Structure 1
Amino acid sequence: MSMLTPPGMGGKYRITGQTYPRMRRPRRRRRIVLAVVASVVALGLAGWGTLQLIDIFGGGDTARRTTAAARCTPQKARPAVDAVNLPKPADITVNVYNATPRAGLAKTTADELKKRGFAIGKVGNAPAAYDKKVPGAGMLLGAADATKGAFPVLGTQLKGATVKTDTRPTADVDLIIGTAFQALNAPKDATAALALLAKPAPAPSSC
């Protein structure tokens, strides 16, 4: 046994050379990790509390409540026409003209409008000023007063129709079928559009 070996120690602790064995205390990593985590949590809570105090005393909470209240207030829809004085389809006389190269569109469209309650006037090819010159689905043509009554009601039957006024003294309106015309709106869609036109619904709330 070496002279460096402490009394009573042997085996793996027996010192045979000139160097003392390293006898460290076991590392306490778990305590260190827990201490670090606790410090981070404490700092986070302190920072969050500080932000809340700044927000309260700075009026941020009040601003948020005001904005939310404004956003949740339902907005009433403003009708583009006087819903009370809208004419019924039976009170509107429609002249149906075909401005496309496809034959028979004026008659079939007029027959369908008649089934839906509209009064039908003249039916035939479009005047030269509009023949093959209406690129969209159709055009509604009539006196200026028609924009407040007949046009909105007739417009529920054909999506995408443009509107134009002239100086005619009569209350009848023209439906000039354009080159992009496919068909009138489905009856259920046209009926729903008429109901909405007569009684506009309020804008939905996001709350």
Structure 2
Amino acid sequence: MSMLTPPGMGGKYRITGDVYPRMRRPHRRRRIILAAAASVVVLGAAGWGTLQLVDVFSGGEGRKTAAGKQADCKPAPKATTPPVAALPKPGQITVNVYNATPRSGLAKTTADELKKRGFKVGKVGNAPAAFDKKVPGAGLLLGAPTATKGAFPVLGTQLKGATTKTDTRGTADVDLIIGTAFKALTPKTAADAALVALTKPAPVPTGKC
């Protein structure tokens, strides 16, 4: 054994001549460093995933503004209801009542009931030939184009299912032509409620946070 050979070391560690063994550092420290780095990466990924889940299930409540404060939830501006067009009152509407059915007496009884409900009654009689027995529904409201936003909605509350049509007349009166499916005018209580509803449109919903 050479004098350079440490005690207890022999075999492949035996030093002979001028050749010295290369002593390598153990790999234990490198493994510890790699394991620590991997743990940091795993923990970072887990934390990011947790934040994403919290954001999803909280509806974005976890988001913060750049100043570090949660964004204020401001209510949407209150919607304004457009003004309702002034509708004529029943006493301002003149109704001509015509019977287009084979049943006699309907024009007079209907006209009398409308008069009791505050409408002005004009002409009463059988329907013109152009409409006689040619109105299949409950009735037809006929008037000038301006009646579509005035007399038609008001008079329509008195006869459910009535259809409307315009002509070229230059007067403000309106024709109520009784159709073959006519049974009676809308009950007065229901008609009065419908008149009130015309002046009270449904409120416009406001936005929510």
Q: If the TM-score is normalised by the length of the shorter chain, which range does it land in?
A: 0.5 to 0.7
Larger Rg: 2
Residues 1:204 and 1:53: Cα distance change in structure 2 (over 3 Å):
same
**Contact 1:95–1:173 at 8 Å: present in 2 too?**
yes
> Whose helix fraction is larger, Structure 1's or Structure 2's?
1
Change in CA separation of 1:59 and 1:87 when aligned onto 2, cut-off 3 Å: same
Contact 1:76 1:201 in 2 (8 A): no
Which residue matches 2:149? 148
User: Do structure 1's residue 114 and structure 2's residue 115 form an aligned pair?
Assistant: yes
Deviation at 1:130, TM superposition (A): 0.4
Give the TM-score normalised by the residue count of structure 1: 0.62
**1:198: how far off?**
1.5
CA distance in 1, matches of 2:97, 2:113: 11
Deviation at 1:204, TM superposition (A): 8.2
Structure 1 residue matching 2:113: 3-state secondary structure: helix
> Which secondary structure state, in structure 1, belongs to the residue aligned with residue 186 of structure 2?
coil
Rate the CA distance shift 1:122–1:62 in 2: closer, same or farther, 3 A.
farther
Instruction: Tell me if structure 2 keeps the 8 A contact 1:96–1:175.
Output: yes
Query: How many residues of Structure 1 are paired with residues of Structure 2 in the alignment?
Result: 147
The alpha carbon displacement at 1:85 in A equals 1.6
Structure 1 residue runs of 4 or more that deviate by more than 3 Å after TM superposition: 51-56, 74-78
User: For residue 179 of structure 1, what is the aligned residue in structure 2?
Assistant: 180
| Residue 124 of structure 1: aligned partner | 125
Q: Name structure 2 gaps, 5 residues minimum.
A: 1-48, 62-77
Task: Supply the distance in 1 between the matched residues of 2:81 and 2:178 (Cα, whole angstroms).
Answer: 31
Residue in 1 aligned with 2:194? 193
Residue 182 of structure 2 aligns to a residue whose secondary structure is coil
Q: Which amino acid aligns with 2:130?
A: A
Query: Counterparts in 2 of 1:57-136, with a 5 A limit?
Result: 57-58=55-56, 61-62=59-60, 83-136=84-137
SS in 2 for 1:193: helix
Give the structure 2 partner of residue 161 of structure 1: 162
Unpaired stretches in structure 1, ≥5 consecutive residues: 1-50, 64-73
Q: TM-score, normalised by structure 2?
A: 0.61
Let me know the Cα RMSD of the aligned residues. 3.2
